[in-house]
Structures are given as C-alpha cells and as structure tokens.
Amino acid sequence: MTFKTLFTACVTATALTGAASAQSMSGTDNPMVGGAAMFADKTIVENAVNSADHTTLVAAVKAAGLVDTLMGEGPFTVFAPTNAAFDRISDESLNALLQPEAKAQLTQILTCHVVATNAMSDAIAGMIADDGGMHPVPTVGGCTLQAEMSGDTITLTDENGREATVTIADVRQSNGVIHVIDRVLLPAQ
C-alpha cells in the first residue's frame, strides 16, 4: 500500500469521524488541533483522525499496526508530529517506511514519540526544573528524549540531536495526553 493510498483513506476517515465528533455533546476546553475540536472523552486515535495536521501520523500509526494500542486504556503521552514535521522527511524515505517490510522500523520510530504515563506540560516543566534544566524522557520505543525549556516552551531532543518544539501542549484524551510537535524524532542510528 502506498503512502498516497493510506493518506486518501485517512482523509476519508477524518471526514467521517469529524462529522460524528461535531455532533458530540461532549464539551471540552481542549485546544483545537488541525482545525478540529479535541474531545477529552475520546481516545488519542479518535481525536487524531480529526486533525487535518496529523493525517500522515494517522497513516503511519495504521501502517505500524498501533491503532488498537493507542485506543487502549493507557495512560499515554504522545508527542504528535504534524504533517509539516513529516514533510521534512523525503517522500522516498517516508514511502519506504510505510511498506510492510519496514513495519518494525516504523513502529520503533512511532513508539519513540510515546511515553507510558499521562504527563501534562506543567509536570514536564517541573521535572525539567528539578533536574537542573534537562530531564530524560524514556519512551515506549526504547529511546530517551531530553526535555528542556526554551522560555515557556518545551523542547525535546532525540538521540541524534534533532530538536522538536511542543507547539500545542496539554490536549487531553480519555487515555492520556497529546503534545503537538514540529519535528519527527528518531531513535539512535
């Protein structure tokens, strides 16, 4: 299955799920993400499919077979790269990652964006302060990200020195929290 096919399937799912979510009576004070309301009573996957900024991430989660996991009980903290973050990866490399033979590699990359706890930004900022300005964040994928503060903004650095900035923090989910980031983080090479 090509990236284009997965992308089209995600756009269709987004339109269908978005219509259902718009009818939801669940109010939330969550920030909007990708032009869509994020509902605190929905799972990470149920909300992510509604974000126009996360269609590539949703396609990757599907290709890696992580939908059921991220719809599970959690709690999870997901550092969610935007489409623009994925655009920094060549189309050739991204298409290769979405092929069935690269599933293990894609799964590791995606799970390096997931922490097995519910960590709101104030808690992360507190851990950074307690650790003297930098806090190690071990991920489900076996990576350790380094969290730091840049003014009032959290940044994450992967094991390769790639830095991502949290652009939207504290998007509450029924099974955790999403923090939107502007770069795809990678495991050590």
Category of 104 on φ-ψ map: left (φ > 0), alpha (ψ -120 to 50) or beta: alpha
Separation between Cα atoms, residue 170 and residue 89, nearest integer Å: 26
Separation between Cα atoms, residue 60 and residue 97, nearest integer Å: 8
The predicted pLDDT at position 14 comes to 37
pLDDT in tens, 118-133: 999 999 999 999 999 9
Separation between Cα atoms, residue 34 and residue 21, nearest integer Å: 14
The predicted pLDDT at position 28 comes to 53
Separation between Cα atoms, residue 186 and residue 109, nearest integer Å: 6
Residue 112 CA: distances (Å) to CA of 28, 61, 145: 28, 12, 8
All structural domains of the chain with their residue ranges: 3-181
pLDDT in tens, 135-147: 999 999 999 999 9
Nearest by Cα to 181 from 161, 76, 169:
169
Pick the CATH number of 3-181 from 2.30.180.10, 3.40.190.10, 1.20.1630.10, 3.60.21.10: 2.30.180.10
What SS3 string covers 106-147? HHHHHHCCEECCCCCHHHHHHHHHHCCCEEEEECCCCCEEEE
CB 152 within 8 A of CB 146: no
Q: What angle do CA 131, 134, 138 make, to 5 degrees?
A: 95
pLDDT in tens, the chain (189 residues): 333 333 333 333 333 334 333 333 344 589 999 999 999 999 999 999 999 999 999 999 999 999 999 999 999 999 999 999 999 999 999 999 999 999 999 999 999 999 999 999 999 999 999 999 999 999 999 999 999 999 999 999 999 999 999 999 999 999 999 999 999 999 997
The predicted pLDDT at position 189 comes to 76
Q: Is 22 helix (H, G, I), strand (E, B) or coil?
A: helix
